[in-house]
Homo-oligomer: A and B are copies of this chain.
Amino acid sequence: MPTATATQKFDIKKAVAELQKLGADLYHKDFLLTWQKNDAEIHAVLKIAEILKEMHARNISARMFETGLAVSNFRDNSTRTRFSFSSACNLLGLAVQDLDEGKSQIAHGETVRETANMISFLTEAIGIRDDMFIGKGHTYMKEVAEALDDGHKRGVLNQRPCVVNLQCDLDHPTQSMSDLLFIKNHFGGFDKLKGKKIAMTWAYSPSYGKPLSVPQGVITLMSRFGMEVELAYPEGYDLLPDTIKVAEKHAKKSGGSFKVSNSMESAFKDADIVYPKSWAPFKVMERRTALLEQGDHAGLKTLEKECLENNAKFKNWECDEKKMALTRGGKAVYMHCLPADITGVSCKAGEVAADTFEKARIGTYKEAGYKPFVIAAMIAACTKKDPAAVLAGLMKQNRGRVL
């Protein structure tokens, strides 16, 4: 039996009732990009995630599937996300079957349509990570989703499995929503996030080609909650223009703000939260995608060399105690999607100083700890007509998850 780290304050019944009131409808839909979801839908997923996390802490079974498959399709290596997805599916009662296409193969059209159906006869959820190729990942997920719609409508599939974006070229919703729950609980509620300043900044790393989906996911989501979002990066390290527009629109609507600067210090100044993380410029990622498609290994090597040299100009973009001292009361919450490049630990010079990371370490673990429940919540929201009723039923059943 798990040691109860259940937060006594969290009232599951109340939360289920609030979920019901939200009136969100994600049934037979997918979770691909947060900005395609309305506020009620975002809040519904967050609410379900918190309910599931609390049920786990209290040893109440959240099994809503007696049998059923979940498909994991990782087109890029991943340990953390793989375990988060496995954990999420297992919590709900689904068994994971990996779909391994080979990392180099980019399936198109006919193949996607057919494969999506062939793997789905008894499947309830499909988690996809495809973040390597700019302009491809989200497109691929949409193709899968459309094939499932078609297969379900035409009687090939008894059920419509949901597609969950486990990271694409545009967004990383399971990460950004875990990040959001972490700071929401840190500050004591969504209303407390209003007016808080978050610095989403680039940071130096000796590696190259890190995806853009984390910063893009963070600026587009946090700007919905009335936060003061400052995105900072060295000149040239732009994100996809479309995601900038989304962040601007969200900030306007929510009464927060969105600002882009080229100074880590500017972003850290009076920040309540800092999120320093390396990424590659989106134009580099576009060139890389083209080279990968052409199988141009020499070109890829040249590009890598060029990028690493350029990165090296910005070694001072490190999150250290000096920069942390600039934040509000010197006490900003440090966030990272992990693993961080820690100076003197995982590399010679990296995103964050060792002492700064060590102080924040357990916090980042807890931040990551929301992810399995966020994924489970997305699956529950998209496969249940009335998730609140299902959760109420599980609470009433009150079956021990563990004897």
Using a CB–CB distance below 8 Å, which chain A residues touch chain B? 1-3, 5, 56-57, 61-69, 71, 79-80, 82-84, 86-87, 90-93, 95-97, 99, 101, 109-111, 114-115, 117-119, 121-124, 151-152, 154-160, 338-339, 342, 345-346, 362, 365-366, 368-369, 371-372, 383-385, 390, 393-394, 399-403
Return the contact of A68 from the options B90, B123, B394 (Cβ within 8 A): B90
Return the contact of A123 from the options B5, B87, B400 (Cβ within 8 A): B87
Which residues on B sit within 8 Å (CB–CB) of A79? 99, 101, 115, 118-119
Q: A118-B83, A338-B114, A365-B117 are in contact. Are A63 and B63 (CB under 8 A)?
A: no
Question: Which residue on chain B has the smallest CB distance to residue A389?
Answer: B403
Task: Please give me the 7 A-B residue pairs with the lowest Cβ-Cβ distance, nearest first.
Answer: A2-B159, A87-B122, A64-B403, A2-B158, A156-B365, A86-B97, A61-B66
A to B CB contacts below 8 Å, 26 in the list: A1-B385, A2-B159, A3-B152, A3-B158, A3-B160, A56-B158, A57-B158, A64-B403, A66-B401, A67-B92, A67-B93, A68-B90, A69-B86, A69-B87, A71-B83, A82-B97, A83-B118, A114-B365, A118-B338, A118-B365, A121-B368, A121-B371, A124-B402, A155-B366, A156-B366, A159-B402
Q: Count copies of this chain in the complex.
A: 3
Give the distance in Å from the alpha carbon of A143 to the alpha carbon of B167 in the complex.
30
Shortest CB-to-CB span from A40 to chain B, Å, is 22
Say whether A68 contacts B401, CB under 8 Å: yes
Q: A2-B158, A110-B346 are in contact. Are A122 and B402 (CB under 8 A)?
A: no
Which residues on B sit within 8 Å (CB–CB) of A158? 2-3, 5, 56-57
Besides the contacts A64-B402, A64-B403, what 13 more A-B pairs have beta carbons closer than 8 Å? A1-B159, A5-B158, A61-B67, A62-B67, A66-B399, A68-B401, A68-B402, A69-B86, A87-B122, A95-B96, A117-B365, A121-B369, A156-B365
Give the distance in Å from the alpha carbon of A101 to the alpha carbon of B154 in the complex.
39
Give the distance in Å from the alpha carbon of A384 to the alpha carbon of B124 in the complex.
28
Give the distance in Å from the alpha carbon of A181 to the alpha carbon of B66 in the complex.
27
Question: Which residue on chain B has the smallest CB distance to residue A364?
Answer: B114
Which residues on B sit within 8 Å (CB–CB) of A156? 362, 365-366, 369
Question: Which residue on chain B has the smallest CB distance to residue A385?
Answer: B1
Give the distance in Å from the alpha carbon of A115 to the alpha carbon of B79 in the complex.
9
